[in-house]
Amino acid sequence: MKPAPFTYCRPDNVEQVLDLLRQHGGDSRILAGGQTLMAMLNMRLVEPKILVDISMMEALRFIRVADNYLEIGAAVIQADLLAWTDLEQYAPLMAKALPWVGHAQTRNKGTVCGSIAHSDPSSEMPLCLALLGGEIVLRSKTNRRMVKAADFQIGTLTTARQEDELIEAIRIPVPADVSKFAFQEVAIRHGDFALVAVAASHSPDGIRLGVGGVADRPEVRHWEHLPEDEIDTALNDLAHELGGYDDIHASAGYRRELVRTIGKRVILEVMA
């Protein structure tokens, strides 16, 4: 199918983007990489009046390190972040998770912040951001605010972004040197939506596990101490708490089983 008619705008700077958002609000959509939005436009799941293209805006294409966090701008393409030589040092979890985001052909166009904006419950980037305790930088004509990942993603495809706000960047805390990370997911075909995705970290304050694809948003649990013989029980409890859902690809029971098996795998990996 083809998109419904819209007006296409390519602003020269962020101020113009914010003006358009203030003027048109919910009638507008930001177009960054388009790897989800273009498909939704083609299927007419969304029919904005104004499309605001930021994909070529150099001012939003930054990867920078400041005060112990890494900041990734709204126009940064997934493949470019993956190719960034310092990624392993500043965001080791992202380095592990990015190869699971879509396919090489969509990573060549899709943006990191676009994944966050779309907030699919099974998507990898929101899961990583939630596990790492990252923040989303939201900017409107009159305001600039940071929202914690846990408060940003409210539910399936639903976020705390206001209609006049632009996701300008995301911020990820740079981990302590001793921290360890692991990422795993199960999908029907590599690159498809995850049935279940898990990410784990082991830092001085304990073990964290993030689970995507089971609840309506990524869920993170933290254990200060998790003895090896208690992992199974902890994961079983978590699996039942999250519940899961049945769809054409997998039953809720299978999703819970994946939480137990790949959840254990990543926890053991970071504890090793």
Whichever of 2 and 225 has its CB closer to another protein, that residue is 2
Q: Does 85 bind another protein (CB under 8 A)?
A: no
d(CA 239, CA 260): 7
Q: Does 4 bind another protein (CB under 8 A)?
A: yes
Q: Does 39 bind another protein (CB under 8 A)?
A: yes
What value, to the nearest 5°, has the Cα angle with vertex 270 and ends 266 and 272? Answer: 115
Q: Does 236 bind another protein (CB under 8 A)?
A: no
- Residue 214: CB minimum distance to another protein, A: 23
* Strands ordered across the beta sheet of 144-148: 63-66, 69-73, 166-173, 135-139, 144-148
Nearest to 100 by CA among 119, 115, 118: 115
Buried b (16+ CB within 10 A) or exposed e, 8-44: ebeeeebeebbebbeebeeebbbbbbbbbbeebbeee
Nearest to 46 by CA among 1, 102, 111, 112: 1
Candidates 65, 104, 176, 268; binder of another protein (CB under 8 A) is 104
Q: Candidates 8-16, 158-166, 232-240, 252-260 — which segment interacts with another protein by CB under 8 A?
A: 8-16
Please name the helix (run of DSSP H) or strand (run of DSSP E) that holds residue 168, with its range, or none: strand 166-173
With CB under 8 A, what is the number of residues at the site for another protein?
Answer: 34
Q: Candidates 64-72, 189-197, 205-213, 219-227 — which segment interacts with another protein by CB under 8 A?
A: 189-197
- Residue 188: CB minimum distance to another protein, A: 11
- Which 140-159 positions form the footprint of another protein (CB under 8 A)? none
Candidates 59, 61, 69, 108; binder of another protein (CB under 8 A) is 108
Q: Does 7 bind another protein (CB under 8 A)?
A: yes
Pair of tokens at residue 249? 């690809």
- Which 53-82 positions form the footprint of another protein (CB under 8 A)? 53, 55-56, 79
Q: Does 51 bind another protein (CB under 8 A)?
A: yes
CB 109 within 8 A of CB 77: yes
Q: Does 22 bind another protein (CB under 8 A)?
A: no
d(CA 131, CA 94): 11
Q: Does 8 bind another protein (CB under 8 A)?
A: yes
List of residues contacting another protein (CB under 8 A): 1-12, 16, 34-35, 38-39, 41-43, 51, 53, 55-56, 79, 103-106, 108-109, 189-191
